[in-house]
Copies of this chain bind each other. A is one copy, B any other.
Amino acid sequence: MNKKGLLLVVSGPSGVGKGTVCNEYVKNHPECSLSVSATTRKPREGEKDGINYFFLSEEEFRKKIDNGGFLEHAVFCGNYYGTPKDTVMQMIDDGKDVILEIEVQGAMQVRAHYPEGVFIFVLPPSIEVLEERLRGRNTETDDVIKERLQRAKAEFKFIEKYNYVLVNDTVENATKTLGDIINAEKCSMSRNYKELKSEYID
């Protein structure tokens, strides 16, 4: 009914499987896209500009920050990462839904700029399951796993700022529920009232 797309912000601890759920959803919903981040990190082999990332020089990136060109940005390991505002807003204005898969600090920046976004926090069925999943990867040392769990616990403190909690028990269930949330939000009165008022009341 409402013509604008939704901005969906998806966060959650490392290992919770949020990327898998978002990819699975987008695969079956052509009206929904994953946002492409900008970064100052050098492209790795096979990475394409505009597909994996928008690759910018540090000067370009800083200039874009100064012009308010990012919905959120942060520095990791000496490289800038950010969500380009214009690209995302254009898609939303065109009626496309856009998913930003970003960490908590970035999500809070987006929330400040765009409170009408839909903020979804992905949780494991339990802390124990999260630990099992991290260990199951068999790629990390004990110390790295402990650090990730500590980080997850720090992130949980922000869940109250999100609109929804999505428990990733199975990818299938979580992907379906993500779709339910998106469909329900499209029916929310606050997103439709203006149009309904002119059609049914005025």
Contacts and interface: CB of A to CB of B under 8 A. Distances in A.
Nearest to A193: B160
Contacts of A184: 164, 177, 180-181, 183-185
Contact of A188 (B164, B189, B197, B199): B164
A196 B123 contact: yes
B159 A188 contact: no
Stoichiometry, as copies per complex, reads 2
A165 B185 CA distance: 10
A42 interface: no
Most chain B beta-carbon contacts within 10 A, residue among A177, A179, A184: A184
B167 A177 contact: no
B189 A156 contact: no
A193 B167 CA distance: 13
A47 B120 CA distance: 46
Interface residues of A, number: 33
Given A165-B189, A181-B184, 11 more contacts: A121-B189, A127-B200, A153-B201, A156-B196, A165-B196, A179-B180, A180-B181, A180-B183, A181-B183, A181-B187, A184-B184
Interface of A: 1, 121, 123, 126-127, 153, 156-157, 159-160, 162-167, 177, 179-181, 183-185, 187-189, 192-193, 196-197, 199-201
Please give me the 8 A-B residue pairs with the lowest Cβ-Cβ distance, nearest first. A184-B184, A180-B183, A180-B180, A156-B200, A181-B184, A164-B187, A180-B184, A165-B192
Contacts of A196: 123, 156, 159, 165
A127 B200 CA distance: 8
